[in-house]
Amino acid sequence: MNQVLLDIKNLTVRFNNNQTPVTAVAGLSLTINQGEIFGLVGESGCGKSVTALSILRLVASPPGQIVAGEIVWKERDLLKLPLSELLKIRGKEIGMIFQEPMSSFNPVKKIGVQISEAYEIHNDMNILSRNDLQAKVLEVLKQVEIQDPKRFYDSYPHELSGGMRQRAMIAMALINQPQLLIADEPTTALDVTVQAQILDLMLELQRKTEMAVLLITHNLGIVAEVADRVGVMYLGKLVELTDVYQLFNQPLHPYTQGLLKSVPSLLQTEALQAIPGQIPDPDDLPNGCYFAPRCPKAMDICKQQQPNIREFGQGHQVACWLY
């Protein structure tokens, strides 16, 4: 059995919206093992990105606040570490690919300089010359399959295409050889061909380095292609957790079933089935299960009490009163 690298326990994150606190993540628990790709899926606004930012304590405060839980990395709770110790882990042991590279890079600094800074922060520059540092950056640019790394090194972010900026972001995240890579919607806003190239690149690098990956996405096709285990979120709560094979062949939660039925297929002969209704307003959440107002299988208890996530078969967890 692979070693547990990251153990999130009962994480709760809130945002103060005027006078009403909004819960973005509610009691989420999951583990990520060494060398695995863990997919975290769900609709926009369900708390996936907030979960990722919470791992490295990047939730803007105010208005955001991590109010409960533990995030254990190698037996150390990241939420209790002094900032000076946490900074040694950010970008070194845990790397992150942010959702939109254009807004994540400094627009007035060259790409090579920004990637160099990520390496300088975590390494002793007394034993490394500027030429050696540049060679290190050019090497990692070659790893992410940049054809002309020297020209790329001297480019500004606005001079690159979306796919090239994404490769630069991956290079920055990998230059310190992290053990965990958090990839937050790494293919958003890219066309299908470039999406495939970026995914293939990430898979190849993951196999070579044996790092773990937390892949955040709303695209179930990507999850089916690359993930080992999957967690499904709805309105800040984890509603199902299992391996990727069981998720697609035996989905348990009605929300997961609805997501899968709404995905187009080349073999499909029937019309797509949309999930009825709308996501509830986070300021006015329903009693009981948050999915109950949209669930075709809802019972009386679903509208009165929240179900806890529990084991249903080996390695398969679900939060639903049906089970």
Write out pLDDT tens, residues 84-108: 999 999 999 999 998 777 778 899 9
- Report the candidate in 225, 224, 258, 253 with the shortest Cα–Cα distance to residue 240: 253
Report percent pLDDT > 90 for the chain.
56
Burial class (CB within 10 angstroms; exposed 0-12, middle 13-18, buried 19+) of 148: exposed
User: Rounded to whole angstroms, how far apart are CA atoms 193 and 20?
Assistant: 43
| Residue indicated by tokens 């059995």 | 1
pTM over 0.95: no
| Residue indicated by tokens 């307003």 | 281
pLDDT for res 38: 96
Write out pLDDT tens, residues 142-190: 888 888 999 999 999 999 888 888 889 889 998 998 999 999 988 776 7
User: Rounded to whole angstroms, how far apart are CA atoms 256 and 318?
Assistant: 10
CATH of domain 4-93+180-318: 3.40.50.300
Q: Which whole-number Å values give the CA distances from 244 to 227, 240, 286, in the listed order?
A: 6, 11, 30
For residue 9, give the amino acid letter: K
Mean pLDDT score of the chain: 89
Reply yes or no on whether the pLDDT at 268 is more than 70: no
> Of 32-36, 139-143, 315-319, which range is least confident?
139-143
Reply yes or no on whether the pLDDT at 209 is more than 70: yes
Reply yes or no on whether the pLDDT at 1 is more than 60: no
Query: Contact 93/179 with Cβ under 8 angstroms?
Result: yes
Reply yes or no on whether the pLDDT at 318 is more than 60: yes
Reply yes or no on whether the pLDDT at 211 is more than 80: yes
Write out pLDDT tens, residues 221-230: 889 989 999 9
Write out pLDDT tens, residues 281-294: 888 888 999 999 99
pLDDT for res 300: 94
Report percent pLDDT > 70 for the chain.
98
User: Rounded to whole angstroms, how far apart are CA atoms 26 and 23?
Assistant: 6
Average pLDDT over residues 67-96: 94
Looking at the chain, list the stretches that DSSP marks H as alpha helix, in order from N- to C-terminal side.
48-55, 83-89, 101-104, 111-120, 130-143, 149-153, 162-174, 192-209, 220-226, 244-249, 254-261
pLDDT for res 189: 67
Chain centre distance of CA 196:
18
Query: Which sequence spans correspond to the domains of the chain?
Result: 4-93+180-318, 101-177
pLDDT for res 164: 87
> Of 163-177, 201-215, 263-277, which range is least confident?
263-277
User: Rounded to whole angstroms, how far apart are CA atoms 256 and 97?
Assistant: 26
Query: Contact 181/174 with Cβ under 8 angstroms?
Result: yes
